[in-house]
Amino acid sequence: MNINLLAIIVGNARTRIGTFVDDKLIDTRIVDNKRVADLGPALTSMFQPLADKPDAVVMLASVQPDICDQVTQQVRDVLGKKVVRVEQDLPIPIGRKLDPETIVGDDRLLNAAAAYDVLKQACVVVDAGTAITVDLVDGAGTFHGGAIGPGAQMNLTALHERTAQLPEVELKKPAEPIGHNTVEAIRSGVFFGLRGMVRELVELYAEQADAFPIVVVTGGDAQLLFDGYDLVDRIVPDLTLLGMAATLKTAAKNPAES
């Protein structure tokens, strides 16, 4: 069964929208959360290819409850469509081995589901955004959780705001590992610090999995931080959206479980 889907994921800083027509992701758009109150035109444009699809679904995932409510209302007002909420209405198709009562963000579970849906083997999923998460999925498709740290921009902001003399620095790849001035030293510390954190965690996770897992990276800073890095097997910018498509497809195949 082909799926037709308008997928919306509300992140910490940005909202990403993806249009799937007959299983294919044909368009994506990113809207800053500060402008999410004016999401109507983007919703109309992104839904247009689905207008003649009677089975089209609007699905929403979120790590921002307040913004999620705003988006839900706009979908109803602008598109006149019911919103299907990830986890509330459709479970994300990934096993979980977590402490009782643990709540994990929709984005982390969707990333894990999308990666395992394609790879069908142990993998580490890195999401480099506002925060950076490094999560383990084992060979049976079970999400074990992982590590959460401050993302690149959060590191830069903290260094500026929590010290007396360090300047505000634009996020860029450092020119070389040794910073010969303060700005480049800060860039080097953040860039290689995050890369080193991920490498250390992947190596530790490999011991748990008894195999070196495939490393998949997504998130707004994925390309800047990890492009060309020998540790990383692939960078998938739309991994979370693909996880939403996998969720809908699994529910369509197993309607009794959804």
Q: Report CA torsion sign: 193, 195, 196, 200.
A: positive
CA distances from 226 to 214, 249, 251 (A): 14, 30, 33
Report the DSSP beta bridge partners of residue 128.
132
How many CB atoms within 10 Å of residue 18?
A: 22
- What is the C-alpha to C-alpha distance for residues 226 and 174, in angstroms, rounded to an integer? 13
**CA dihedral in degrees (91, 94, 98, 101; nearest 10)?**
0
Catalytic residue among 38, 55, 107, 138: 107
Backbone angles phi, psi at 235, to 5 degrees: -110, 125
Of 142, 147, 148, 146, the residue nearest 97 (C-alpha) = 142
58 strand-pairing partners: 6, 83
The bridge status of strand 123-128 relative to strand 131-137 is: antiparallel
Long-range contacts of 203-209 (CB under 8 A, 24+ apart): 205/124, 205/134, 205/136, 205/146, 208/136, 208/144, 209/122, 209/136, 209/138, 209/139
Q: Is 107 assigned a catalytic role?
A: yes
Query: Which are the catalytic amino acids?
Result: 107
